[in-house]
Amino acid sequence: MKFPFPYEYRENQREAVKFIYKSIEDERFVCLDAPTGFGKTPVILASLLKRGRRIIWAVRTGNETDRPIEELKIINEKLGKNYFGLSFRGKRDMCLLARKKFRGKGEHEEIAYLCKSERKNCPYYRNLQDFYYFPDNPLIYSEIMEIGEKYEICPYFYQRFLAHAADVISFNYNYILNENLMWSFRNIIDFRESYLVVDEAHNLQFAYSSIYGDKITLGTIKNALRESEKRREIYKIVLKIAEDVEKLKNNIAKERKREDVFSPSEIFSTDVQELEYLLKYGEEIRKKLLKEGKRPRSSSYRLANFLIDCLEKEGTRGVEFIGRRLPKNFEIEIYDMRAKEVLSHIWKKFRGVVFCSGTLRPIDAFADVVGIDDFAYRNFPPPYGEENIRTYLIRGLSTRGDKLPREMADRYIYAIKEIARLGKNTAVFCASHRILNSLLRRSLASELRNMGKEVFVEKKGMSGHRARKILEEFRKSEGGILLATASGRFSEGADYPGKSLEVVFMAGIPFERVTLKTSLYIQYYKEIYGEERGEFYSYVVPALRRASQALGRVLRSEEDTGIFFLGDERYINYRALLPEYIVARMKIISLGKIRRVVNYLRNSETP
């Protein structure tokens, strides 16, 4: 059987194509576990395109939507096919009217509101009605935008029009996890006749929480008070909410806690009619602002919406409400921990689903958490040989406990300085910001600089722009040291081709810090899965997946080589949860032996 695979098959790729092709119809749910560099995207495309049904490709962030479409272009070019596909983005990224009116600013909700109110008079929407151009080739996001700008048509609705004829549509998780967004697709895509691919599927466990969780602070309430100053009856409602929140804040302070759970109906004395009245008032403000050419934002609207959501979700298993004292503020959070209960219904809407990642193992835990029972699973080894990899687990190091004692921090610094002598680009991924800061406070960065090293440091909350710049400079460096966290933007999703990263040192195991949220999460999982499995799924597996993701940054292709140092002796107990190719020939050494190991590696040819 000939599949539309545009490259010469490398080891295991043909087998993977056949496996997906067969299993998607036999089993419906397919789990593909293969490391970076395996070529998952062309493998999955080749098998599903051969099946001749539409493919919906869900990725973690909007920026990743272009990847499968770029591969589709290569298939067309190399094999003379004419598949069509596009990367689909939301109005926030595409609305030309909002760009003009709000100068590129505005939240998704504001742009959606603008479109709902002004679409009839929108020149870009009008121009689209007489526009008939169907491209010959698949389109990535920037190309759709270019067409929109060139012909002054609405790119958002243009892509919706094109989507009717697409063989492959890629978009971010929101479109499958968010009921409203998914619903808006119903008249374009017949889900029952489509295959869904969930890329980097290990993220699903937390994806739902990030979409359905929400927070407001005192700032929202203060702004709502200001907005309603001239409307006495509205002002009274907001004031009542402000007093209730103050009570909650005082209760938590009285208990000498920083944060606590609460029940919305016990704290808030406003009823649903009052909240709807406030919502309506917020709507009037949004309308007025839009008329004045301003962004349609209203804190009254936001506050009412949030509280209605609280009341609606109260009593739902897996949803908690948290009040939290901050240094100069107070916040209320809706914490939605659900995964299995909601996700299992979503998969059933599709003809078949492929879940892929390099870190799906342990597969039973993954399947249980995302709510699939019968599925076909294959774990494919990496294309790089064992001779390209060296792994050392260092005894005598551990980030166990609440604080990193000075003596332990000094041990870490000693190990990192020794490893820096290798002269290769090295990433030190710390278990948390807390660990990273402990090492920085003990002068890790300056000691490395004193050795003549270029040092790059991840800062908490740094902008995407700044992070990209640091990444670029680190990649260009020779023997540079990146000091970052194992759950930040440098450890997942970042690319380090060739020699731009050859060594990874894991400073600790990236377990979640035990906060109120972590405890609630573990507790909830224990209720669903039982004591042991609950803790394993909610606490252990996510930490080891984070570590695996961070370690996986090093090897991207057959030619790459990698040296891994596991800087926490507890990894011995969790080695089965790390990628096989990393632990297969792992050596356990004591901290005292590290100098000898580094000297040996400096003198050996491979890696």
Residues engaged in binding ligand SF4 (CB under 6 A): 91, 95-98, 114-115, 118-119, 122, 124-125, 154, 156-157
- Of 117 and 251, the one with the shorter C-beta distance to ligand SF4 is 117
Alpha-carbon distance of 286 to 124, in angstroms, equals 22
Report the nearest approach of ligand SF4 to the CB of residue 153 (Å): 9
Neighbours of 179 (CB within 10 A): 12
Contacts of residue 503, Cβ cutoff 8 Å, sequence gap at least 6 = 419, 422, 424, 425, 426, 427, 554, 562, 563, 564, 565
Give the DSSP per-residue string, 283-344.
HHHHHHHHHTTS----HHHHHHHHHHHHHHHTT-TTEEEEEEEETTEEEEEEEE---HHHHH
Instruction: Name the E strands within 44-118.
Output: 54-59, 85-87
Q: Judging by DSSP bridges, how do beta strands 214-217 and 194-198 pair with one another?
A: unpaired
Q: How far is the CB of 144 from ligand SF4 (least distance, A)?
A: 12
The DSSP-derived string for 115-166 is HHHHGGG-HHHHHHHT-----SS-B-HHHHHHHHHHHT--HHHHHHHHHTT-
Angle, in degrees to the nearest 10, between helices 340-347 and 204-212: 100
Pick 116 or 602: Cβ nearer ligand SF4? 116
Instruction: Tell me how far, at minimum, the Cβ of 124 lies from ligand SF4, in Å.
Output: 4
The CB-of-161 to ligand SF4 minimum distance in angstroms stands at: 12
Dihedrals φ, ψ of 328, to 5°?
A: -130, 30
Say if residues 504 and 564 touch (Cβ distance below 8 Å): yes
- Which is nearer to ligand SF4, 59 or 95 (by Cβ)? 95
Tokens of 412: 């870490």
264 upstream amide cis, omega within 30 of 0: no
Q: Which two tokens stand for residue 24?
A: 């998607």
91/313 with CB nearer ligand SF4: 91
Q: Choose between 156 and 380: whose C-beta lies nearer to ligand SF4.
A: 156
Whole-number minimum distance, CB 98 to ligand SF4, in Å?
6
Cβ proximity to ligand SF4: between 113 and 347 the closer is 113
We find the least distance from the C-beta atom of residue 157 to ligand SF4, in angstroms, to be: 6
The CA dihedral of 438, 441, 447, 450, to the nearest 10 degrees, is 150
To the nearest whole angstrom, how small is the minimum distance from the Cβ of residue 71 to ligand SF4?
28
Nearer to ligand SF4, 37 or 106 (CB): 106
Q: Which is nearer to ligand SF4, 106 or 264 (CB)?
A: 106
Q: How far is the CB of 145 from ligand SF4 (least distance, A)?
A: 11
How many CA atoms lie less than 13 Å away from 79 in the CB half-sphere?
19
Question: Do the bridges between strand 54-59 and strand 168-172 make them parallel or antiparallel, or are there none, so unpaired?
Answer: parallel
289 Cβ neighbours under 8 A, 6+ residues apart: 295, 296, 297, 298
Q: CA 99 to CA 342: how far, in whole Å?
A: 35
Q: Check: CB of residue 524 under 8 Å from CB of residue 369.
A: no
CB of 281 to ligand SF4, least distance (A): 25
Closest distance between ligand SF4 and the C-beta of residue 115, in Å? Answer: 3
Buried b (16+ CB within 10 A) or exposed e, 43-56: bbbbbbbbeebbbb
For ligand SF4, give the closer residue by CB, 156 or 330.
156
Q: Which is nearer to ligand SF4, 171 or 208 (CB)?
A: 171
Nearer to ligand SF4, 118 or 283 (CB): 118
**How close are the terminal C-alpha atoms of the chain, in Å?**
39
Closest contact distance (angstroms) between CB of 294 and ligand SF4 is 15
